[in-house]
């Protein structure tokens, strides 16, 4: 039996899938914002699309409206996250959607940010705009796992990357091995760095490997480098200190005071902690305050 509701839902899923693909274009660039894509559909055809390129730049729905070759009045907006209704680095999107004459908004998920979280949808409904929420919600939450973790758990999303031999070892007994991985795996590691806002290592990695922890591609965004270094043992000529995009976590009582001053002259940010060792819980709390949403 023909069911109009089922057909409409299928169409909604098709367009939301396209919005999710658009959103992925912002991978690695939108932090601390989520990845968002938007489509404007009129008479069953996509007339415009946009995605959020970077924090501080227009949101996806605004870009889609601005890029439309003709009026969007009476069209449907497909977007993977609820439109915002508050002033941040950019003006709110809801008033622009209303002004443009959009008649229906379909989105995957409510924004977990308490400044929005249902308020954007409520304002759209109040303006007489039809709304549908929850289309491919799980897929969007997976895509924006870091953002949802940051907003809901009030800490960065943390992923572990390590290389090991078949027998589970990560280095030789003497620690003199350089790489366990081949060039292809190392390229993938650099790609992963570009997808996270920050990369975290311990001081032993810096001392033994002298890594750069960079992406090495101009088209990719370089991550913030975070180093756990209780005593500030890090050599001032370390490759990881090539620029000031570095945070070092150290212990107040153990740190080298003279080194601290020299590092700060280089522009390095130093987080000081009390106690006998750095508390990962407290470290994540401090990084949350710095709006770091994902760590590799």
pLDDT tens per residue across span 207-220: 988 989 888 877 78
Provide the pLDDT for residue 87.
76
Which tokens in the block code for residue 69? Answer: 């070759």
Average pLDDT over residues 263-285: 93
Query: Which residues does residue 199 pair with via DSSP β-bridges, in sequence order?
Result: 225
Taking the CB of residue 275, how many other CB atoms lie within 10 A of it?
Answer: 11
**Please, are residues 294 and 157 in contact by the beta-carbon 8 Å criterion?**
yes
Flag whether pLDDT at 271 surpasses 50: yes
Flag whether pLDDT at 226 surpasses 50: yes
**How far is CA 89 from its chain centroid?**
16
Q: Minimal CA–CA distance to 249: which of 190, 209, 295, 216?
A: 295
Domains of the chain are 4-144 (3.40.140.10), 157-295 (3.40.430.10)
Flag whether pLDDT at 135 surpasses 90: yes
Flag whether pLDDT at 1 surpasses 50: no
**32 preceded by cis ω (within 30°)?**
yes
Distance CA 5, CA 246 (A): 53
Average pLDDT over residues 69-82: 92
Annotation marks residue 61 as catalytic: yes
Provide the pLDDT for residue 179.
67
The conformational region for residue 43 under phi > 0 = left, psi -120 to 50 = alpha, else beta, is left
Catalytic residue (one of 13, 18, 43, 61): 61
Q: Note the pTM of the prediction, 2 decimals.
A: 0.88
Average pLDDT over residues 219-224: 85
Comparing 76 with 175, which gets the higher pLDDT? 76
For residue 227, give the 3-state DSSP assignment. strand
Distance CA 214, CA 180 (A): 19
Provide the pLDDT for residue 2.
38
Mean pLDDT for the chain?
Answer: 88
Average pLDDT over residues 267-274: 92
């Amino acid at each position: 039996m023909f069911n109009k509701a089922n057909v409409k839902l299928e169409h909604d899923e098709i367009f939301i899938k396209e919005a999710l693909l658009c959103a992925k274009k912002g991978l690695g660039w939108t932090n601390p914002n989520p990845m968002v894509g938007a489509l404007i559909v009129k008479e069953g055809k996509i007339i415009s699309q946009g995605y959020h390129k970077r924090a501080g730049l227009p949101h996806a729905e605004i870009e889609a409206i601005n890029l439309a070759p003709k009026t969007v009045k009476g069209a449907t907006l497909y977007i993977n996250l609820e439109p915002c209704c508050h002033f941040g680095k950019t003006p709110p999107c809801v008033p622009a959607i209303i002004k443009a004459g959009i008649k229906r908004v379909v989105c995957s998920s409510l924004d977990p940010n308490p400044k929005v979280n249902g308020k954007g949808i409520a304002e759209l409904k109040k303006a007489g705009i039809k709304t549908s929420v929850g289309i491919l919600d799980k897929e969007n939450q997976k895509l924006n796992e870091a953002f949802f973790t940051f907003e809901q758990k009030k800490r960065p999303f943390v992923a572990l990357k390590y290389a090991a031999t078949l027998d589970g070892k990560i280095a030789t007994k003497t620690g003199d091995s350089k790489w366990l991985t081949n060039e292809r795996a190392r390229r993938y590691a650099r790609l992963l760095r570009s997808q996270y806002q920050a990369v975290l290592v311990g001081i032993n990695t810096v001392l033994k490997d002298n890594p750069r922890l960079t992406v090495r591609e101009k088209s990719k965004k370089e991550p913030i480098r975070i180093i756990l270094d209780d005593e500030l043992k890090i050599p001032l000529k370390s490759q990881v200190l090539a620029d000031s995009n570095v945070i070092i976590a150290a212990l107040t009582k153990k740190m080298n005071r003279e080194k601290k001053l020299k590092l700060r002259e280089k522009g390095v940010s130093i987080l000081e902690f009390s106690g006998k060792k750095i508390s990962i819980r407290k470290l994540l709390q401090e990084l949350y305050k710095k709006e770091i949403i994902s760590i590799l």
